[in-house]
Amino acid sequence: MNQILVLKNLALNEGTPSNVAAVKDIVNLKPGAVSLVVDGKALYEAGKVWAETERIQLVAGITKGVNTVGNEIYVQSSVPIARRQVLSVNYEKYVAPVTKVVEIGPFNWKDEGDAGMLIMDSSYVRTIQTNEIRISEYKLANMTPESIINKIVDRINNGTGIPNLQTFNAFCTAAKKGTTPADFKIELTMKTEHVDLSVSLNGMFAYAPVTVTREPVISLGKGEDVLRTEKEFNGNLGDGGYWGYNEGYFSKPLEADIATNYDIFQIKFQGEHDTPQNRVRTAVNHLTVAVPTGSTLVGTLKTAFDELFATAYDSVKGSVVPSKDEEKETDKTPKVIPSAPAP
């Protein structure tokens, strides 16, 4: 099961009208605040010894839905995490996106002739139809190279002169570089970091160099990406995404803020539950915790996860016998987050 908890820049156990001091007070959590519940009966406290702990559960306050009334409890809980079944705990700091930049030119100008280019969005090579921009300008003897460059830049940026039958969906922006015909270039900047392109040139533009001047960097923790993940994972909570009256079936508001950047924790763990006879393993679960970058809560959770999970394999003997395929892995300590102060 995939779950996500989207938090805010609040302290651990921060609540209203008072902070959460015990599990019974969990309903006081502010939207975006979080508590760590240990074995269903105690709250995590930094510095305590948690060697005998079996399960940890993250509980986050959430925003009330538009159709909710009365005194319902507004919290969202993670699947209980068995300490000894944690496979990995990873932390990634927010990474800002960087878009790709390509320069075309300089060009071999002539008095007259065609200057053409085909720019294709090659991000999704297996799709049947690919976004593309086809441009062809004929230079007459009385036209300057600068006027041709300006027309091409205008077409790319505004769709000027592109036939109505062609759907214009520019995936890059263009700018003129250089001050003389000998050093004129066209600079293409992708609109998002996910866009890649290929360029074909003809006419007097043929054989002009195409140079990547800035490589892309894929973002991590961008608000819109966290929001997209939250929407996707809400399906596990019952959001069917119905065309009509969806809010009548699922009224939990989205917590992610598109204007906020997030640091990301990911906890991967083997699910388990108890039966009258024994303890049984279930599916592998993935819990994502998104925390606003720069929040003091980041350091708090680093310390908490280190204290709760790092010693599990030293002091707690697994109660589930590993399968033959897993026997070779039982002596490996999972990747955990080292203790660190808040950035």
- For the residues of 29-69, what is the DSSP string, one character each? BPBT-EEEEETTTEE--TT---TT--EEEEEEE-PPPTT--
Please tell me whether residues 59 and 206 are part of one structural domain.
Answer: no
For residue 337, is it within any domain? no
User: For position 189, what pLDDT does the model report?
Assistant: 95
Q: CA angle, 334 as apex, 328 and 337 as ends, to 5°?
A: 170
How far is residue 227 from each of residues 66, 257, 265, measured CA to CA in Å?
19, 7, 15
User: For position 290, what pLDDT does the model report?
Assistant: 96
User: For position 129, what pLDDT does the model report?
Assistant: 56
Q: Which domain holds residue 68?
A: 2-95+221-329
| Domain closes at, from 179, 196, 214 | 214
How would you classify the pairing of strands 2-6 and 279-292?
parallel
Six-digit token pair at 287? 């819990």
Please tell me whether residues 72 and 130 are part of one structural domain.
Answer: no
User: Could you give the number of structural domains in the chain?
Assistant: 2
User: For position 8, what pLDDT does the model report?
Assistant: 95
Q: What is the pLDDT along the chain (343 residues), one digit of tens a residue?
A: 889 999 999 999 999 888 999 999 898 899 999 999 999 899 999 888 777 788 899 999 988 765 455 545 578 899 999 888 888 889 999 999 999 999 999 999 999 999 999 998 888 765 555 678 888 899 999 999 999 999 999 988 887 666 543 445 678 999 999 999 999 999 999 998 988 888 999 999 999 999 999 999 999 999 999 999 998 888 777 777 666 666 666 667 889 999 999 999 999 998 877 777 777 777 888 999 999 999 999 999 999 998 888 766 543 333 222 333 344 444 444 444 333 333 4
| Domain closes at, from 198, 214, 230 | 214
Please tell me whether residues 200 and 303 are part of one structural domain.
Answer: no
For residue 106, is it within any domain? yes
| Domain closes at, from 170, 198, 214 | 214
How would you classify the pairing of strands 172-177 and 132-139?
unpaired
By the 8 A CB rule, do 84 and 319 touch? yes
Which residue matches tokens 């036939």? 163
For residue 341, is it within any domain? no
For residue 342, is it within any domain? no
Half-sphere exposure (Cβ direction) of 77: Cα atoms closer than 13 Å: 13
Using alpha carbons, select from 195, 175, 220 the residue that is nearest to residue 99. 195
For residue 334, is it within any domain? no
